[in-house]
A and B are shown apart, each in its own frame.
Chain A
Amino acid sequence: MIKQTTYLSHSYGKPNSWTLSAYESAGGYRGVRKALALTREGVIEEAKKAHVRGRGGAGFDCGTKWSFMPKESKKPHYLVVNADEGEPGTFKDRSIMEMNPHSLIEGCIIGCYGIGAHACYIYVRDELHLSKARLWGAIREAKAKGYLGNNPFGKDYPVELYVHSGAGAYICGEETALLNSLEGRRGEPRLKPPFPAQYGAFGCPSTVNNVETLAIMASAFDMGCDEFSKLSELHPFNDGGARLFGVSGHVNRPGIYEAAVGLTLRELIYDLGGGVLQGRSILGVIPGGSSCPVHLPDELPTLPPDPRYDAYRGKSILDIPLGVDTFRSAGSMLGTCCAMVLSDAVDPVLALHNVMRFYRHESCGQCTPCREGCGWIERILNKVVEGKATIDELDRVHEIASNITGNTICAFGDGAAQPALAFIKRYRKHFEDYIVNGGKSQTRRLTV
């Protein structure tokens, strides 16, 4: 169901929307005042009621994550904001940082208070220069007003925010690689346990949250978290509130749209995204960043027997509300909730080739299956595209990807294997055509 909202996007496209005065005149910095009036435990209890599922891709409940932080510890606590936004097809965090940076600042103050941190590092992907500048600007403004510093909003709870430039690697978006990178180490995922809440930045208890997760918390606290959660059609699935939905690829109006959770892919693509370019039909859609599986438009997922799913039975994947659990149960993944649409004028073989080149290039290379497996798949696909592969080699792809799945340190491995498995499963004939006929019956195009 489409229920467009403007909690984060009210300022998008407006002049000087990133300034403190614009933010406050739109009702900003109210949520944080309400949060600071509560106790730390009170903030966590309230946050849990918002059912904000992590917007970074894993979909973990934000309030629950905050509650994992130690009640007391000898070491300082840190809030770390994941603004590395490197997932292909994902560009929502950037819009917040550029056009509504104060919402993130506000969310960070709430987060710091909730987890017992006095310092917060915002780790921004290096290329996002405007985001960094707008964040620093917002921090300066907030400091000048006394919203940051020793007594934010008059409360005796010091909070400082710092913007840190990323080291230019997709893997630095994985939260523990991010922590290593923040510390000046090689950006490689750490082994878990210990989890960041026990041993995070600089060995201290830390929480890593996505930009949007924190930014939306400001609105949730302003509105009352329970009420906020109920905006969502998926409130019964503990997937609450509103979020940014992205759509890119072959649609008429690609972009970021804010709506209550409950939106479907069909609504995102056709109603908000303006439908497929040139009025063509959908070849495939990737729900939330390239690490998610690709789906055919008419795919009918098998849903669990749970009665909460009854409403969606027999429906195509395009008509199931985009939610963390709904998509997981449908054999898919919500990821960053930024869908990529492929029109039937393009070639799925080239699409997978493109995706796997990315994963080969970005694997940090710690784990054998990911390091070598991504390279091997890319090499096979290079040959497929050049018309030099054999059927035998094509039959390696699912085998290599299946052996990456679950066998690595971080989720990058699964994120690289999923698209490979999903594409060959759905478009095997197209791949075979490249091998048998040199791809003559394919469009051999990625753009429309």
Chain B
Amino acid sequence: MPNFKLDDREIPFEPGETIIRAAQKAGIDIPHYCWHAGLSVAANCRMCLVELMPPPGRPAMLLDVLAWDKIKQEYLPQKKPKLVPSCQQAAADGMVVKSQTSEHVDVARASVQELLLLNHPVDCPICDQAGECRLQDYWLEHQGTKKRMRDEPVHKPKAVVFGPTIVYDAERCIVCTRCVRVSDELAKDPVLSVRERGNLNEIVVAPGRQLDHPYTLMTEYVCPVGALTSIDFRFKARVWFLRSRRTVCVGCATGCNSFSDFDPRDQKVYRYRPRENLAVNKFWMCDDGMLDYRRIHEGRVLEARVAGRPATVAAALATAAQLLVAAGPASTAVVLSAEHSNEDNFALLSLAKSLGFSDIYQSGRPAGQGDDILRHPDKNPNSAGVAALGKASGLKSFVELVEAIRAGKASTVIALGSATPTGSGAAALAEVRSLIAIATHEGAVVDRASVVLPASSWAEADGTFVNAKGMSQESERAIHPHGSSQPAFRLISELAALLGKPLGWKKLTELRAAMAPAAPRSVAPDSASLGAE
């Protein structure tokens, strides 16, 4: 691989790669606002300027500038090298680049930083971006001086509602055009643009339109400052109180890699953020996925129920055990769920095997809208995982379950998951004698259940999900289980113990070890998929 020298380090690069991207891959963050690895190059912020050393024997291109000599009281002509934006400049073999070691670069960056803050309201105390704002970070690293312009800054529109999800503050905007490029290039809906000129520039929504494509939250996500805020998140949390876990979005079968940002004090997830995975979601997530974190806290089943009445988990487990013993293998259907992780499904499958239950079905959420960007029409995170795990057991479809119920062949059902793929399927569940639901959310299944076992959501348990491409991805637990809920695999393991058929593992690692040979290779937990934090 060819190399270039950045300050005192040798940086390898792929031909055609820019200096900034190669440096980023090598773990060096050249300061930047407008550049984003997932977007076209705009090179407008000029924060990433670096000094390129001329090839040996060739003079540097020098520009005439002035300095002021306070003592002599006169201007001194000075020369400075022409700097180049590292986000635009392609790396070349043997190139020598100075970033942190060039005094000219220092001056240029401090100046850009000062200029960006010149007309900025500096309202950090009421700004949601505070704590993760590049203006703040780079002020510390590259400026560190007080504001020298003492005049009234330029005023521009504030709290402009761009659409159902986004609010814009033009005074905080640095016109880096990242949001414009996200709409143009990711969402393929050129609904944002720049209007006016010079320091009156602002971002506007196309006349007659709203910012309402399926990827609006990515505009906020890429905004390096507090100009775009998400209506969902604004004024909800201070980011320095939040912690992050590497999770996988369960909104659809794409399995976008995400961060779940939660407050450890109240054990609430406040938002998702995309986590880079070039093989899956690149840098992005869709709005549905981004807002799907709300289901962690909404409509949850947090307590056990027996015959529609609140019960302890122990009592519910005991009732479930009795019902299963009474029914026996011939009339019991076991339903796996594409909403749940491999771990949960593997546990239920193991229970079924140990009890000799052989009628295994698959359930999940109904299909929805997809696109050719990220969104998959299968709105389940683990259809592929369930299909792979259940293959050897003759996994049957939900339609077949409905038929079996209607034919009186499945009078007892033990079902993982909260949703059914069709409304008529939910109605069929009302016809069974006993329905044991292991569910995270209220809904059609829980409504009809004789016994409800409260399962923890994806955010409250570690789990592995296999996306539509067959990639097995681990998701980390972010918060403690809410209410009396427990991870489904744990509830199932306790049920097995009550039935005198312990599953042979207690801890998650033991479960995964047990699952590894049983599960086809592609669904084995792949810790590499966790990516960088």
The judgment on whether A and B are partners is yes
Cβ–Cβ contact B149 & A379, under 8 A = yes
Residues on the A chain within 8 Å of B323, using CB = none
Q: Which of the residues A374, A379, A408 comes within 8 Å of B46, measured between beta carbons?
A: A408
Q: How distant is the Cα of A433 from the Cα of B171 in the complex, in angstroms?
A: 35
B66's closest neighbor in chain A, by CB?
A398
Residue pair A368, B64 in contact (C-beta under 8 Å):
no
- Chain A 173-196 interface mask (CB, 8 Å, partner B; 1/0): 000000000000010100100000
Q: Is A169 an interface residue (CB 8 A)?
A: yes
Given A186-B193, A376-B149, A421-B65, the answer on whether A368 and B116 have CB atoms closer than 8 Å is: yes
Find out whether the CB atom of B148 lies under 8 angstroms from the CB atom of A405: no
For the complex formed, measure the closest distance between the CB of B64 and the CB atoms of chain A, giving whole angstroms: 7
Within 8 A of B (CB), among A415-448: 421, 424-425, 428
- Say which residue of B74, B82, B148 sits within 8 Å of A406 (CB atoms): B82
Which of B156-164, B195-203, B410-418 contacts its partner? B195-203
Which residue of B112, B193, B196 has the most chain A CB atoms within 10 A of its CB atom? B112
Most chain B CB within 10 A, of A403, A405, A406, is at A406
| Any A CB within 8 A of the CB of B478 | no
> Restricting to A356-378, which residues have a CB under 8 Å from any CB of B?
360-369, 371-376
Q: Interface size of A by Cβ–Cβ distance < 8 Å?
A: 42
**A290-315 interface code vs B (CB 8 A; 1 in, 0 out):** 00000000000000000000000000
A409 lies within 8 A of chain B by Cβ: yes
CB distance from B153 to the nearest CB of A (A): 10
Residues in A whose Cβ lies below 8 Å from that of B111: 369, 399-400, 403, 407
Q: Known contacts A366-B44, A398-B68, A406-B63; is A371 also within 8 Å of B80 by CB?
A: no
Q: Mark B73-98, 1 if CB is under 8 A from A, else 0.
A: 01100101011000010000000000
Contacts of B306 in A (CB 8 A): none
CB pair A376 B115 closer than 8 Å: yes
Question: Is A154's beta carbon under 8 Å from chain B?
Answer: no
Partner of A365, one of B116, B149, B200: B200
Query: Which of A368, A399, A401 has most B Cβ within 10 Å?
Result: A368
Q: Which residue of B lies closest to A413 (CB)?
A: B46
Chain B positions within 8 Å of A428 at CB level: 74-75
Query: Known contacts A396-B148, A405-B65: does B44 contact A361 (CB below 8 Å)?
Result: no
Judge whether A368 and B44 touch: CB under 8 Å: yes
Query: CB < 8 Å: which of A169, A191, A375, A406 contacts B199?
Result: A375
Q: A376-B118, A403-B111, A406-B83 are in contact. Are A363 and B198 (CB under 8 A)?
A: yes
> Is A372 a contact partner of B196 (Cβ separation < 8 A)?
no
Query: Which of A331, A371, A374, A425 makes the CB contact (< 8 A) with B175?
Result: A371
Give every chain B residue within 8 A of A365 (Cβ-Cβ).
175, 194, 196-201
A429 to B: closest C-beta gap in Å: 10
Collect the chain B residues with CB atoms within 8 Å of residue A191's CB.
Answer: 41-43, 88
Contact count band on B: 35 or more
- In the assembly, what is the distance between CA of A379 and CA of B47, in Å? 23
B426 → A minimal CB distance (Å): 52
* Least CB distance, A27 to chain B, in whole angstroms: 44
Contact: B174 with A368, CB < 8 Å?
yes
Instruction: Return chain A residues, CB-CB under 8 Å to B193.
Output: 186
Interface residues of B in 25-67 (CB under 8 A from A): 41-47, 49, 63-67
Interface residues of B in 118-169 (CB under 8 A from A): 118-119, 148-149, 151, 154
Please, how many angstroms separate the alpha-carbon atoms of A23 and B46 in the complex? 50
Given contacts A402-B66, A421-B66, whether A186 and B198 have CB atoms under 8 Å apart is no
Any A CB within 8 A of the CB of B107: yes
For A363, list chain B residues within 8 Å (CB): 197-199
Residue in A closest to B148 when the chains form the complex, CB atoms: A396
The answer to whether B116 touches A186, judged by C-beta atoms less than 8 angstroms apart, is no
Q: Please give, as numbers and ranges, the residues of chain B lying within 8 Å of A372 by CB-CB distance.
A: 115-116, 118-119, 199
A402–B107 Cα distance when bound, in Å, is: 10
Q: Contacts A360-B199, A396-B148; is A405 near B115 (CB within 8 Å)?
A: no
Residues of B contacting A421 in the complex (Cβ-Cβ under 8 angstroms) = 64-66
Chain A residues within an 8 Å CB radius of B194: 186, 188, 365
Question: Is B318 among interface residues, defined by CB-CB distance under 8 A?
Answer: no
| B108 at interface, CB cutoff 8 A | yes
Kindly list chain A residues whose C-beta atoms are within 8 Å of the C-beta of B201: 365, 371
Asked if B46 and A367 make an inter-chain contact with CB atoms under 8 angstroms apart, the answer reads: yes
Q: Does A227 contact B (CB under 8 A)?
A: no
Q: Specify which chain B residues have a CB less than 8 angstroms from the CB of A169 in the assembled complex.
A: 197
Known: A365-B175, A368-B46. Is A407-B108 also a contact (CB below 8 A)? Answer: yes
The distance from the CB of B397 to the nearest CB of chain A, in whole angstroms, is 50
Q: Which residues of A contact B65 (CB under 8 A)?
A: 398, 401-402, 405, 421
Give every chain A residue within 8 A of B197 (Cβ-Cβ): 169, 171, 361-365
Across the interface, do A425 and B44 meet the contact criterion of CB distance under 8 Å? Answer: no
Determine how close the nearest CB of chain A comes to the CB of B275; give it in whole angstroms.
Answer: 29
Given A402-B65, A407-B83: A371 in contact with B107 (beta carbons within 8 A): no
B residues whose Cβ falls under 8 Å from a Cβ of A: 41-47, 49, 63-68, 74-75, 78, 80, 82-83, 88, 107-108, 111-112, 115-116, 118-119, 148-149, 151, 154, 174-175, 193-194, 196-201
Listed by A's residue number, 27 A-B pairs whose Cβ atoms lie within 8 Å are A171-B197, A191-B43, A361-B197, A363-B198, A363-B199, A365-B196, A365-B197, A365-B201, A368-B46, A368-B112, A369-B112, A371-B175, A371-B201, A372-B118, A372-B119, A379-B149, A398-B65, A398-B66, A398-B67, A399-B68, A402-B78, A402-B80, A403-B112, A406-B80, A409-B43, A414-B63, A428-B75
